[in-house]
Amino acid sequence: MSKILIIGNSLAVVKAIQDIRREDEQSAITLFCTESLLPYDRLLLPSLVAGQIKESQTHPLADDFFGQNKVEVIANEKLVRMSLKRKYVTTESKLQIDYDQLKIADLGRLMPPAIQGHQKKGVFDCALLSSVKELIQYLPFTDTVFIMVAHIYGFNMACALHGLGKEVVMVSSGAGLLPQVLDDEASSLLKQIVESKGIRVMTENSIEEILGDSEVKAIRFQNGKVMGAQMVIADFLPLDWRLIDQDNGYEKIEDDYFKTALPLRSCHFGLHVLEGFLTGFTKLPEGGREYLKFDGPQNIFKKVFAQGEVLVGAVLFNASSHEERLLKLINEHVPVAGQEEALLGG
């Protein structure tokens, strides 16, 4: 009987378990939860900060999921060593877990930002529930938050904090917001909408140093400007794989949260700052076509991307009435050639 070890805390590990059990009911499966927490939905972390949901709601699995799938769960240990050659991992308490197959979604660690002072109290990331729980405890002592917005999830975290009455400053490396995700047109408009809601946006800039003795007191930017702050949030830092000493000997499980390549999974964003939705290709694909409709006074923006006969992506601002129809056309590969502009009417 094969022994399968799965490491990670995201819902990607849940899919891996389900995939295994569809084909194999006998192998022993051990799930090592790297954050000493049960698997959770990272997309819900901004909603947790906003107070819209409870922590238990980030854990969507039925109570008997692991029992039904015959999975041993280890959620109270810290991983300190991995031997891919000898096929075992060791925990802080010297527990050794042997395996025949190893599958990894994440190691519960993100690469620290390349910023002086990133280790100070008041610096958090928005990808790990363990860090977000500390962030929530720190909020009562915080007035001004700087967040390096690189992806939808950091953008949502910034919107959540704005909704709590915090002074939020979004920091973007590009000329607009979310340039890694959106094209220049949508990126610039998103910046305008956010600023109209009272959120400050600093573009074409980056944080160079976090100032303060032991906790965040101020931020020094790349352009030399210094601004007071009590909290800094990093968005979408890459996973830290330094615990692994080689590139083979395990299967990497893709976690949608950390995916950057297009097409993207369907995602809502904005948390009451705007009603945002995107899916599939969010920039013009090679050989594709794009169609746009924009109502400036209402901040309604609709853009779809087509390739061949079908739609392959959409970006919507404040146009939720179009979401269901466009998503259906994209998912079902319905031929729409010649009708694309008509789809944006209404």
Rounded distance, CA 166 to CA 320, Å?
27
> How many CB atoms neighbour CB 308 within 10 A?
12
User: What's the 3-state SS for the chain?
Assistant: CCEEEEECCECHHHHHHHHHHHHCCCCEEEEECCCCCCCECHHHHHHHHCCCCCHHHHCCCCCCHHHHCCEEEECCCCEEEEECCCCEEEECCCCEEECCEEEECCCCCECCCCCECCCCECEEECCCHHHHHHHHHHHHHCCEEEEECCCHHHHHHHHHHHHCCCEEEEECCCCCCCCCCCCHHHHHHHHHHHHHCCCEEECCCCEEEEECCCECCEEEECCCCEEECCEEEECCCCECCCCCCCCCCCEECCCHHHCCCCCEEEEEECCCCCCEEEEECCCCCCCCEEEEEEECCCCEEEEEEEECCEEEEEEEECCHHHHHHHHHHHHCCCCCCCCHHHHCCC
Give the per-residue pLDDT at 87: 94
Predicted confidence at residue 256, as pLDDT, reads 84
pLDDT of the chain, 346 residues: tens digit per residue: 799 999 999 999 999 999 999 999 999 999 999 998 999 999 999 999 999 999 999 999 999 999 999 999 999 899 999 999 999 999 999 999 999 999 999 998 888 888 999 999 999 999 999 999 999 999 999 999 999 999 999 999 999 999 999 999 999 999 999 999 999 999 999 999 999 999 999 999 999 999 999 999 999 999 999 999 999 999 988 888 888 877 789 999 988 888 888 999 999 999 989 999 999 999 999 999 999 999 999 999 999 999 999 999 999 999 999 999 999 999 999 999 999 989 998 6
Would you state the pLDDT for residue 255?
86
Domains, the chain, with CATH or none: 3-107 (3.50.50.60), 123-234 (3.50.50.60), 275-340 (no CATH)
Please report the pLDDT score of residue 346 as a whole number. Answer: 66
